[in-house]
Amino acid sequence: MMKAKTHNITIAPQQERLKAKEGENLFHFLVRQDYTIPSACGGVGTCGKCRVLLLKGARAPSESERVHLTEAELEAGWRLSCIQHIDQDLVLEIPEVEESVRAKELLSKVLHIPLDSGVKKTYLEFPKSSQADQRPDTIRLQEELGEGQLTFPLPVLKKMPNLLRQEDFKATVTWAANHVLDMEPGDTTRAQYGVAIDIGTTTLAGYLLNLNTGEEVAVRSRMNPQRSFGDDVISRIKQAHERGEEGLRELQKAVTSGINIVINHLCQTARVSPAHIYKATVAGNPTMIHLFTGIDPSNIAHSPFIPVLRDSLILPALGLGLDMNPEGQVHILPSISGYVGADITAGILYTKLHQAEGIQLFIDIGTNAEIVLGNKDRLLACSTPAGPALEGARIKYGMNALPGAIAYVFLNDRDLKLETIGDRAPKGICGSGLIDLGGELCKLGLINERGNFGRRVDLPISNRIRQGEKGQFQFLVSDGSKPIYLTQQDVRELQLAKGAIRSGVEMALRELGVTLDEVEVVYLAGAFGTYVRRESVLRIGMLPELPLSKIKPVGNTAGQGAKLCLLNQGKWEEIQRLAEQMEYFELSYLKDFSQAFIGSMHFPKHPHLE
Amino acid sequence: MMKAKTHNITIAPQQERLKAKEGENLFHFLVRQDYTIPSACGGVGTCGKCRVLLLKGARAPSESERVHLTEAELEAGWRLSCIQHIDQDLVLEIPEVEESVRAKELLSKVLHIPLDSGVKKTYLEFPKSSQADQRPDTIRLQEELGEGQLTFPLPVLKKMPNLLRQEDFKATVTWAANHVLDMEPGDTTRAQYGVAIDIGTTTLAGYLLNLNTGEEVAVRSRMNPQRSFGDDVISRIKQAHERGEEGLRELQKAVTSGINIVINHLCQTARVSPAHIYKATVAGNPTMIHLFTGIDPSNIAHSPFIPVLRDSLILPALGLGLDMNPEGQVHILPSISGYVGADITAGILYTKLHQAEGIQLFIDIGTNAEIVLGNKDRLLACSTPAGPALEGARIKYGMNALPGAIAYVFLNDRDLKLETIGDRAPKGICGSGLIDLGGELCKLGLINERGNFGRRVDLPISNRIRQGEKGQFQFLVSDGSKPIYLTQQDVRELQLAKGAIRSGVEMALRELGVTLDEVEVVYLAGAFGTYVRRESVLRIGMLPELPLSKIKPVGNTAGQGAKLCLLNQGKWEEIQRLAEQMEYFELSYLKDFSQAFIGSMHFPKHPHLE
């Protein structure tokens, strides 16, 4: 029996020596050895949290490492552990994740806000009742707490008399905004958590935060179980509408159970009881918010695109069936219109367009791309139908950004280099890969302005352009055991997507009456914005011609905004105000939008970024 | 076959002529003829509402008519129809019960308050959504209503989109305190009701009020089904405590189902849908309030007598299981201590002790008698253990104030006259009958100071004093087919009851530092206070020696206070303040209370009211 080849892994500064098998994934190896490595994506290379410092054995950085780490960090040897395959001896340091350090980082460095969740938890040793002190239980609590008039929910009133006497009038009370949420015997003040939830059409993300320290104690994401009812919001609305109340209930149940699985995973990871989660904040697009609350979104699907809700909502957890303290309150962030939702207001809260002096542009790309343009004086928002191409749908070999998806493509005259998510064998093309392909092919002139493939005899790479079904040209992306092509039709879908976004941006500039030069920053939000190469975005003309440095990928801003509202009541007030301030305009009602859309489908005449 | 004798009944001024059978009850006869006769007690002679004006055929007024009608009214011929048995031709007028008249009477004459329930109902014809008007449904409603920011409960949000479009954007919205309670298609603004509930240990009373007009559209009372768990609060607390959560749930279910039967009867009577009841107010003693809300009252039963609750509560109807609009709010009136409850604060609100210049005394007599003494400057409250005698318990032939109960007794040297509730054959003795017996026997010197029976040879009535079991003396009250006696032990029970009340009043006077002469009025509240003869109360020394004219029976002040809070938000605020203002003192903790109690058990030396 041949023994598998092994490598020495040395953990500095402890100088712990471990043996790892050739080819093993570093992230999973370290986790198995009981090292705490933060990860939001579970080790598939998309969250950028699992960084380690390679003192020996660092390879050239991958594109996704370039996205998540700075030049200086890469230079120093920082890499993402989840995309390292062990093929040599390594010496590495694992960053400390000691509680107070992480809390400090989260609050002061990352979110820049003071901790003020509104949830309070106090341990009290009450004076016992006696002939001289006949105060009722509620009054006793209220007066000992010294917080003025409190209201009590029935379940707390029901358990109060026995609970108080159970531990000899020693108990912990939890309350928010003068409303008591819970009582427990003894001192449980340390157990005080909140959860921020981002309901994406594709993915549910949950963030468990310690409301005492501000620490993010666990992060989880998971496919939205509603996907079995359809990939995009329109197909889900159709399901809900056609099957009436029953359909609506099923869709609500699907998303609620998905969120509950996320919450339970978060709680297991951090060893927290769901009963100690007292507050939740929820972001999501308007359809997701309607379906989560069980409200019929039907009228969003057709003109004039009317949602039921726009303002924020505060609802008891019990009524929504969430696995958290039943008296805990669920704060649903405000929306703007039928397509510009709480995910966008959360993104603006986080990126601070509403406080900017200069003009800023915020784009969240999905089946619909939401565009917000403006500054502290005025903010315009619109939604443009980018279609499903950038989420991998209607693309012959398209797929979501999951392990094995081609995320980055690099072409030169003769060679092609790919990067896949999780460094797996290529299985398909996701949105960022599609844009990279478009950009690289444009760069080499293998696609013309009108989007047609054309061979260049001077470039050996041209031989990847081949005739497929019905004599249509297609580009061979990967020729492994399962060849992957980019078809002419795929290029058309890309043109529709990028044309919708480009024309939306142009219209927003016109509506606000500003020029492109005045735009000081473009935030690309969402998973897509995080992974896409900005060069390729410009090469295909998805955005008008801008300096590359003005484009900033900002990741899941919906989740970040939800966290802000979870940790700080002032931010919850602020998001109400900014939602009021934002002006929505209906792109599809503008007379010349169709024309602009068609014009924007062309690729730029001359590659401009060589 | 002999034809039954009939009499002519002429209804003036219409001059309608009817035939009635000899001996028929006038109230039931008129109701059968479809005349609307108000009644809260269903025709058993206790509510005093069924008055008619007898132009011909009026008999000498009965004692209960003397309680409910003034001298002038009796003089004019007003009588209670339910205690008239038809034995001659009658000419009578039935008072108009036309809506507006009754509403005006109720509000301006009886309760003296403006109509301001806080519940609002508005019919709106909304502008339809369009390209030019993309407002979300909730914003559309809010802006058309022009009432500022509204909050919406989930059930309303769920039905809103379809409901709005069902009748072409014509709908009625109901809201209170900026919280939407319901939406209905079309115009339903007239259907707007509230219910005031008095949860008595013995009896549940419900009052259905039209919140548009203030009219009392129906009144119902019913036995509290919790009586199967015991007659008094202590035995119910014992049940709840011994059987734990299960017992508590059963007691709550019993009272809730009883209230729901009352509500459903009210709704049937007035042809109102329970969904159109948007507000409820609830009064009751502290144990009843705890059991109604499902909160453990155990610690009320033993020293230091600690309730869980004291302050008022506002709870959603849905959570309490009441048959009314599920989003409707149930306002539970505030209490003072473990025995001085929402029934007493409601009574003070109604009788206005908290606004009085002069010193006033309020007494609500039950198993415990609650005593409130004071004026606008200071109000003292206490509770004294009167025992169950005045509710008919522990009295050999005792019974509740139900049809057949001996309510009044008149003695002279040789004769005895009885009045029973509903003018039925005597079945037993209720509280007012017991006091009357005591008072009349004292008056004639047939009971001495120490409460012992003694024959007076000069009085033929003395032969009703006979020897019973073990040679004990007893007084023959009724010698029909089923003889009824007042025993020596019954007199002892009466002494305990009246001694507790008398000593409570004395202690309250001392605590407040006022003399008896300073007391300008004594309100006797509750069913008991309504029916008892004031002469008898004074003759047995239940109250210290006062002019008869200072004693005012005020009926069910708990129900009246609950109605005030139902109709007027200012009164709801006022009852919170007065509850805060009231000072409780624990009678049983006063060193000399026992001694005062024993001293107060003696009957007055000389009958003082001959």
Q: How close is the nearest chain A Cα to the Cα of B609, in Å?
A: 41
Coil, strand or helix at A498: helix
Nearest CA-CA distance, residue A196 and chain B, Å: 21
| Residue A66 tokens, joined | 């370039």
pLDDT above 90: residue B83: no
Of A136, A296, A319, the CB nearest to B161: A296
Look at A131 and B589 and tell me if their CB atoms are within 8 Å: yes
Average pLDDT of chain A?
90
Closest Cα to residue B313, out of B340, B281, B349?
B281
**Residue B604, beta-bridge partner list:** none
Q: B569 and B539 in contact (C-beta within 8 Å)?
A: no
Of A134, A154, A303, which is closest to B586 when you measure between CB atoms? A134
For B496, the 3-state DSSP assignment is: helix
C-alpha torsion sign, points B147, B148, B153, B158: positive
The percentage of chain B sitting over the pLDDT mark of 90, rounded to a whole number, equals 66
Instruction: Give A158 to chain B, closest Cα distance, Å.
Output: 5
A411, β-bridge pairs: A416
Q: Does the beta carbon of B294 lie under 8 angstroms from any beta carbon of chain A?
A: yes
Contact assignment for B307 to A137 by CB distance below 8 Å: yes
Residue A482 burial (C-beta neighbours within 10 Å; 0-12, 13-18, 19+):
exposed
With beta carbons under 8 A apart, name residues in chain A contacting B135: 306
CA distances from B213 to B103, B195, B274, B329 (A): 6, 14, 18, 20
First to last CA, chain A: 54
Chain B environment of A151 (Cβ under 8 Å): 313-314
| pLDDT band for position B1 (cuts 50, 70, 90) | very low
Q: What is the mean pLDDT of residues A192-196?
A: 97
Closest Cα in chain A, distance from residue B576 (Å): 12
Smallest Cβ–Cβ distance between B129 and the set A137, A160, A304 belongs to A304
Give the CA angle between residues B551, B554, B558 to the nearest 5°: 135
Cis peptide bond prior to A307, omega within 30° of 0: no
Cα–Cα dist B437/B536, whole Å = 8
Q: B306, B318, B589: which to substitute to probe chain A, counting the most A Cβ within 10 Å?
A: B306
For A275-318, the pLDDT digits (tens) are 999 999 999 999 999 999 999 999 999 999 999 999 999 999 99
> Cβ contacts (< 8 Å) between B139 and chain A: which residues?
310-311
In the block, tokens 């917080």 appear at A147
Chain A: give the shortest CA distance to residue B363, in Å. Answer: 22
Residues of chain B with pLDDT > 70, as a percent, come to 94
> In this complex, which of A157, A299, A311 lies closest to B293 when CB atoms are compared?
A157
Q: Give the A:B interface size as CB pairs under 8 Å.
A: 120
Residues of chain A in contact with residue B133, where contact means CB-CB under 8 angstroms, are 304
- Chain A residues inside the 8 Å CB shell of B315: 154
The nearest CA of chain B is from the CA of A130 a distance in Å of 6
User: How confident is the model over B253-276, as pLDDT tens digits?
Assistant: 999 999 999 999 999 989 999 999
DSSP A132-153: TB---HHHHHHHHHT-S--B--
- DSSP E strands, A214-284: 216-223, 277-284
pLDDT value for A206: 94
Residue carrying structure tokens 């309730």: B307
Asked if residues A463 and A473 have their Cβ atoms less than 8 Å apart, the reply is no
Q: Is B515 on the interface with A (CB under 8 A)?
A: no
Question: What residues in B contact A162, CB-CB < 8 Å?
Answer: 296
pLDDT exceeds 80 at position B34: no
pLDDT higher at A593 or A102: A593
Q: Distance between alpha carbon B473 and the CA centroid of its chain, in Å?
A: 36
Are the CB atoms for A384 and A549 separated by under 8 Å?
Answer: no
Distances (CA, A) of A598 to A500, A541, A595, A606: 8, 13, 5, 19
Nearest to B433 by CA among B525, B532, B519: B532
Q: Nearest Cα to B160, choosing from A299, A63, A259?
A: A299
Q: Residue window 382-401, chain B: list those with CB within 8 Å of chain A.
A: none
Q: What is the 3-state secondary structure (H, E, C) of A84-129?
A: CECCCCEEEECCCCCHHHHHHHHHHHHHCCCCECCEEEEEEECCCC
pLDDT of residue B555: 83
Peptide bond into B388 cis (omega under 30): no
pLDDT tens digits for B144-185? 998 888 999 999 999 999 999 988 999 999 999 999 999 999
What pTM was estimated for this model as a whole? 0.81
If one counts every other C-beta atom within 10 angstroms of the C-beta of residue A552, the result is: 15
User: Can you tell me the distance from the alpha carbon of A503 to that of A511, in angstroms, rounded to the nearest whole number?
Assistant: 12
Residue B287: left (phi > 0), alpha (psi -120 to 50), or beta?
A: alpha
Tens-place pLDDT, residues B326-373: 999 999 999 999 999 999 999 999 999 999 999 999 999 888 899 999
- Taking CA atoms, A204 is separated from A25, A196, A224, A604, in Å, by 26, 11, 5, 36
pLDDT band at B198 (very low <50, low <70, confident <90, very high): very high
Q: What's the CA gap between B174 and B188, in Å, rounded?
A: 9
d(CA A509, CA A503): 10
Q: Is the pLDDT of residue A603 over 90?
A: yes
Does pLDDT of B105 surpass 70? no
Pairing of strands A416-420, A428-429: unpaired
Residue B44 has pLDDT above 70, yes or no: no
| pLDDT tens readout for residues A431-454 | 999 999 999 999 999 999 999 999
Q: Across the strands, what pairs with B465?
A: B475
Look at phi and psi of residue A445 and say left if phi exceeds 0, alpha if psi is from -120 to 50, else beta. left
B221-235: b or e for each residue (b if 16 or more CB lie within 10 Å)? Answer: beebbbbebbbbbbb
- Which of B134, B294, B298 shows the shortest C-beta gap to A305? B134
**Residues of A with Cβ-Cβ distance to B586 under 8 angstroms:** 131, 134
- CB spacing of A308 vs B157 below 8 angstroms: yes
B248 with B296: CB under 8 angstroms?
yes
Instruction: Give B319's contacts in chain A (Cβ within 8 Å).
Output: 154
- For residues A531 and A67, the answer to whether their CB atoms sit within 8 Å is yes
| Whole-number Å distance between alpha carbons of B257 and B269 | 18
When mean pLDDT is compared across B105-114, B265-274, B315-324, B416-425, the lowest value belongs to B105-114
The answer to whether residues B4 and B22 touch, using CB atoms and an 8 Å cutoff, is yes
Which has the closest alpha carbon to A566: A383, A400, A324? A324
pLDDT band per the 50, 70, 90 thresholds, residue B539: very high
> Residue B421: pLDDT band by 50, 70, 90 thresholds?
confident
Handedness of CA A235, A237, A242, A246 (dihedral sign): positive
| A197 contacts A265 by C-beta, under 8 angstroms | no
Helices (H) and strands (E) in chain B, counts: 18, 26
Report CA-CA distances (Å) from B375 to A160, A610, B351, B585.
35, 93, 11, 16
Question: Which of the given ranges, A358-362, A529-533, B462-466, B523-527, has the highest pLDDT on average?
Answer: A358-362
Residue A372 has pLDDT above 80, yes or no: yes
Instruction: Give the tens place of pLDDT for each residue, B425-482.
Output: 899 999 999 999 999 999 999 999 999 998 888 899 999 999 988 889 999 999 878 8
CB A263 within 8 A of CB A324: yes
**End-to-end Cα distance, chain B:** 53
Q: How many CB atoms lie within 10 A of CB B5?
A: 10
For the purposes of burial, counting CB atoms within 10 Å of the CB of B154, is it exposed (0-12), middle (13-18) or buried (19 or more)?
middle
Q: Are the Cβ atoms of A160 and B308 closer than 8 angstroms? A: yes
Q: Check B158 against A296: CB less than 8 A apart.
A: yes
Query: Is B162's Cβ below 8 Å from some Cβ in A?
Result: yes
Kindly report the CA angle at A446 between A440 and A451, in degrees rounded to 5?
A: 95
Query: What is residue A206's three-state secondary structure?
Result: strand
Task: Judge whether A312 and A573 are in contact, CB under 8 Å.
Answer: no
A319 with B154: Cβ contact below 8 A: yes
Residues of A in contact with B163 (CB under 8 A): none
Which among A137, A304, A309 is the nearest to B308, CB-wise? A137
Q: Which residues of B touch A133 (CB under 8 A)?
A: 304
A337 and B158 in contact by Cβ < 8 A? no
What is the secondary structure of A345-405 as a DSSP string?
HHHHHHHTGGG-SSEEEEEE-SSSEEEEEE-SS-EEEEEE---SGGGTTTSTTB--SSTTE
How far is Cα B53 from Cα B57, in angstroms, rounded to an integer?
Answer: 10
Do A134 and B305 count as a contact with CB atoms less than 8 A apart?
yes
Q: CA triplet B407, B411, B414: central angle to 5 degrees?
A: 145
- Average pLDDT of chain B is 89
Choose, out of A248, A293, A295, the residue to mutate when testing the contact with B (most B CBs < 10 Å): A295
Contact call for A295 and B154, based on CB within 8 A = yes
Confirm or reject contact between B298 and chain A (CB < 8 A). Answer: yes
Residue A183 near residue A173, CB atoms below 8 Å: yes
pLDDT tens digits for A550-566? 999 888 899 999 999 99
How many angstroms separate the CA of residue B221 from the nearest CA in chain A? 27
Q: What is the pLDDT of residues A247-271, one digit of tens each?
A: 999 999 999 999 999 999 999 989 9
Window 13-52 of B, Cβ < 8 Å to A: none
User: Does residue B135 belong to the interface with chain A, where contact is any CB pair within 8 Å?
Assistant: yes
| HEC-encoded secondary structure of B155-188 | HHHHHHHHHHHHCCCEEEEEEECCEEEEEEECCC
